[in-house]
A and B are shown apart, each in its own frame.
Chain A
Amino acid sequence: MINRKIARRYAKALMNIGREDGNYERYLEELQSFTSLFQTEKELREALINPTFGASPRQAIITEVGTKLGLSQIVMNLLYVLVTKNRIQALPDVTSVYQELVDEVAGRVRVHLITAYELKNHKLQELTHALEGFVQKKVIMEVEQDQSLIGGVVAKIGGMVYDGSLRTQLEAFKELLEKG
């Protein structure tokens, strides 16, 4: 929660710059690529988090990795600040909040879709269109497969859940039987 609060501050600052220069989408992609590396590469993460290494060596690591990833100077600067202030561990939250801000500005919404079986492309598109019609925003689908649903799909949009899974129907049926 505290991380999220701090993250919002940095994400907003980056968003302001991004809106001014019109590169906010690019910054999101860059942040996501660095964050992905930060989360998967343990050595990189530990080196950046460890304050005993000093700010300069850690900034040098960012420069090297950032150059290879083709990061813009703006995003690199943000990463330098996070490292210098020993808040680099909040990076995933910064990216997540920044993504929300970008989605908001771009007028789109992310839907976390859980499906029991893999969806065919045309079904996924049909569902995406239906959801876009409902939320009146462009929908970006993040699909996850979970066979414990037995059948059907569950869509999570922000804090709302639209559950069409057989698992939930069975649970409702069970509750009905228990109540008599």
Chain B
Amino acid sequence: MWGDLLLKITNFAILAFILYKVLKKPLRSYLKSRHDTIKNTLDEAERAKREGERKYRAYEARLKTLDQEIEQLQQILVQEGERQKQRILKESELTAQKIKDQANLRAEQELKMAKMRLRHEFAAQAVQLAEDLLKKHFQPSDHDRLVDEYIQGVRNLK
């Protein structure tokens, strides 16, 4: 019984020795790597914390001037709005004036055309009336008189 127990202990000791020899290097390497990883993570966390604090301070500082910035922005918006309003008003005035000018010009042209048509119509009617009267009352003696005047005109051409 003791011999069996001793054998088991010996076997375990041999196994433990072999495991120690085989796993010593990889285990050390693993542990070192793990140590480095944890260290890096901690460093990163530290950097992030510092960056967070920096940003916090920056935001805190900006928050303090935010009201002022908002007020400035509002002023800029109001000024820009006023400028746009003035520009639109000016453009509208120009457009309105242009439309008015064009309408006036068209009206003037139409009036001119109407006057011209009226003058042409009046002239045609007056001449037609004169022609009708002439044809009705014109006598050969009138023709002779016209020819005499014509002959006199030709003589004067010399």
Q: Which residues of A contact B (CB under 8 A)?
A: 115-117, 119-120, 123, 126-127, 130-131, 133-134, 150-153, 155, 162, 164, 166, 170-171, 173-175, 177-178, 180
Contacts and interface: CB of A to CB of B under 8 A. Distances in A.
Contacts of B124: 174
> Looking at chain B, what size class is its interface with the partner chain?
20 to 34
Given A126-B151, A177-B122, A164 B146 contact: yes
Contacts of B158: 133-134
B138 interface: yes
A137 to B, nearest CB: 13
B146 A134 contact: no
Contacts of A173: 126-127, 130
B22 interface: no
Interface of B: 116, 119-120, 122-124, 126-127, 130-131, 134-135, 138, 140, 142-144, 146-151, 153-155, 157-158
Query: Chain B binding site: helix, strand, loop or mixed by DSSP?
Result: helix
A164 B151 CA distance: 10
B117 to A, nearest CB: 10
Contacts of B138: 150-151, 166
Nearest to B155: A130
A117 B134 CA distance: 14
A115 B143 CA distance: 9
Nearest to A164: B150
B143 A152 contact: yes
